Amino acid sequence: MCIAACTVVFFSCAKWKDPKPYTDPQLTNPYCNDPNAVNYNWGFPGKPDNSLCFYPNSLFVGSYMYYDTMYNDTLFVGADSFIINITIPSNSETKMTLSGFCGGSGSISLTGLPGYEATVDTVVGDTSTFNQGQIMCSVGDTINGYILRDRVDSPAVLHFFLQVSFGDTTVINHYGSAKLIQ
């Protein structure tokens, strides 16, 4: 009896062998298979084709007319409009540069995310710093926040949610939109 039980246990613990892979001829739909792309796995299942991929920074590139409203807490401070430009540094799928906020001088570095969002890169401060962000127009000013690309209403519209800290005393919130002009 013991010999029979040992024999059954021995053969029931045989190593699994994977079947040979095959390509299903019915799966012909091409899809992007790059996890960094905005359209990752759109159209899956099918055949991977990374020439279909588009990346976060390509959603934002261009020249825009920016319409800005500024608030100090809930107090309206002012409104302005000016042209901004978003460009892509060479060989990047996520990084971009926004210029035009500081009267044409200086630029803001952004990182594009697959969810139609771009965030201002934090290059100044850490968790113990009161105002984290990026140097804005002068050394004491920092900016942080994000930009959303409108997917539904108009693909040529960006919505801005930015916060500019002037030293440790004043914080101005910028809520704006930008319409693609070029």
Q: Is residue 67 in a domain?
A: yes
How many domains does one find in the chain?
2
Q: Is residue 6 in a domain?
A: no
pLDDT tens string 68-104:
999 998 899 999 999 999 999 888 888 999 998 877 6
pLDDT at 6: 62
In this predicted structure, the answer to whether residue 181 has a pLDDT above a threshold of 60 is yes
Mean predicted confidence (pLDDT) in 8-12? 64
Mean predicted confidence (pLDDT) in 113-128? 77
Mean predicted confidence (pLDDT) in 140-150? 87
In this predicted structure, the answer to whether residue 135 has a pLDDT above a threshold of 70 is no
Q: Looking at the structure, tell me whether residues 81 and 158 fall in a common domain.
A: yes
In this predicted structure, the answer to whether residue 29 has a pLDDT above a threshold of 80 is yes
Q: Helix or strand or coil: residue 101?
A: coil
pLDDT at 142: 83
Backbone torsion region of residue 120, taken as left when φ is above 0, otherwise alpha when ψ lies between -120 and 50, otherwise beta:
beta
Q: Is residue 8 in a domain?
A: no
Mean predicted confidence (pLDDT) in 25-32? 83
Q: Looking at the structure, tell me whether residues 36 and 81 fall in a common domain.
A: no
In this predicted structure, the answer to whether residue 17 has a pLDDT above a threshold of 60 is yes
Q: Is residue 13 in a domain?
A: no
Tell me the pairing of strands 107-113 and 47-48.
Answer: unpaired
Mean predicted confidence (pLDDT) in 4-30? 73
- pTM of this prediction? 0.76
Percent of the residues in the chain that have a pLDDT greater than 70, as a whole number: 81
Q: Looking at the structure, tell me whether residues 44 and 64 fall in a common domain.
A: no
Q: Which of 171, 50, 46, 60 is nearest to 115 (CA)?
A: 60
pLDDT at 9: 63
In this predicted structure, the answer to whether residue 126 has a pLDDT above a threshold of 60 is no
Q: What is the mean pLDDT of the chain?
A: 83
Mean predicted confidence (pLDDT) in 139-163? 85
In this predicted structure, the answer to whether residue 66 has a pLDDT above a threshold of 80 is yes
Q: Is residue 138 in a domain?
A: yes
What's the domain range around 118?
Answer: 56-180
Side-chain half-sphere exposure of 37, counting CA atoms within 13 A: 15
Q: Looking at the structure, tell me whether residues 77 and 157 fall in a common domain.
A: yes
Q: Is residue 149 in a domain?
A: yes
pLDDT at 15: 76
Q: Looking at the structure, tell me whether residues 33 and 108 fall in a common domain.
A: no
Q: Is residue 7 in a domain?
A: no
Q: Is residue 10 in a domain?
A: no
Q: Helix or strand or coil: residue 151?
A: coil
Q: Looking at the structure, tell me whether residues 29 and 46 fall in a common domain.
A: yes
Q: Helix or strand or coil: residue 18?
A: coil
Tell me the pairing of strands 157-166 and 75-87.
Answer: unpaired
Q: Distance from first CA to last CA of the chain, Å, rounded?
A: 84
